[in-house]
Amino acid sequence: MMFFLRAAFWLAIVSVFVPRDFAGEAMDLPFDTASTRIDAGQAVDSWCVDREALCEAGAEAVQLGGFLAGFAATQIETAIEDRQASAS
């Protein structure tokens, strides 16, 4: 808990000294995000037509990352449950 109090304190101190235009101008985002996603998907599809092996490797890497993330979440959940059981 003390960590969060210190972090909040220092964040407040730093925010006082940050200039107003630190992040630059506001970005003008498109309102139609669905069409933007479709446009991005079409660009990726056309790029993957020329580089099939690279896209397949990327898809496999994403699947492996998802598996490892799920496995890690399961292990963490089991460790937390074991610790709670041993504490009681």
Amino acid at 18: V
Average pLDDT over every residue of 36-64: 81
Res 26 pLDDT > 80: no
What local confidence, expressed as pLDDT, does residue 22 receive?
67
Q: Which amino acid is at 76?
A: I
Indicate yes or no: pTM above 0.85.
no
Q: Report residue 31 as tokens.
A: 């309102």
Dihedral angle, C-alpha 59, 65, 66, 67, nearest 10 ° = 110
* pLDDT for residue 63 is more than 70: yes
pLDDT at 81 (0 to 100): 92
Helix ranges restricted to H, 32-51: 33-50
- Tell me which H or E stretch contains 80: helix 52-87
